[in-house]
Amino acid sequence: MKPSRLRLAPLRCPGCGPSLLAVLGDDEMLVRCLRCRGTPVHLSLVAAVAAHVPGLAARRAYELSTTGAALAWLRRRCGSVATSEYLDGVEPGSLRDGVRCEDVQRLSFADGSFDLCTSTEVFEHVPDDRAGFRELHRVLAPGGWLALTVPMHDADATVERARGSGASLEHLLPPAYHGDRLNGPGSVLVYRDYGRDLPARVRDAGFDDAFLWTPPRSFGGHRRTVMLATRR
Ligand SMILES: [Zn+2]
């Protein structure tokens, strides 16, 4: 991803309104809203929530990260927003440098604590994603929504790349890694490549409706399919 000359294009940003899209190169990470700094991933998530989830002002939201344009948008729109980060070996619910640490496979929140749960690019790194979906279903109150992005692959079925963790980690395919903000590039193992069966996996975890939605307009040629689900 060689940076090229900056291109600017008018943007009706789902995160912040009339703006400009800055395009520094072909990779989606080099495309951002100039005002809210939203990437195509965050802007797709915001567009999905705005299009589907009613009554945001009364909703208690939980976002599985502590930064980003989607979180900033949730903070402006929702009644309250809880956040957390995952840190290896830190007990769920404890604080590290003022940041709440949570493992989505075993959240420390009480049942029915939230009305909207969101995440971007988290679940492909969760060893037991079904446990994570069950936990988000548990902490959502009736009427709650789940909205998340993962890298989607052009396949009907999800492919598991690894299973277990720590000493019991087993690679089923050559290991693939993504970077993250806390641990640096190439640091986080990809456990699976999600296919079009993602909504079925989410329904298996207890959600009533689960479906994929793609923003009608792209952001500089990039847009993400978003997984939306409800708990009745
Ligand atoms: Zn924006």
pLDDT tens-digit profile of 143-178? 999 999 999 999 999 999 999 998 999 999 999 998
- CA–centroid distance, residue 29 to ligand 1 (Å): 15
Taking a 5 Å cut-off on Cβ, the residues next to ion ligand 1 are 13, 15-16, 19, 33, 35-36, 38
Ligand 1 center to residue 38 CA distance, Å? 6
Q: Write out pLDDT tens, residues 19-74.
A: 999 999 999 999 999 999 999 999 999 999 999 999 999 999 999 999 999 999 99
Mean pLDDT for all residues in the chain: 95
- Cα 125–Cα 131–Cα 135 angle in degrees, nearest 5: 105
d(C-alpha 3, C-alpha 7), whole Å: 11
Q: Which domains does the chain have, with CATH numbers?
A: 38-230 (3.40.50.150)
Cβ neighbour number for residue 135 with a 10 Å cutoff:
21
What six digits make up the tokens of 76? 């402006």
Q: What separation in Å is there between the alpha carbon of 148 and the centre of ligand 1? A: 19
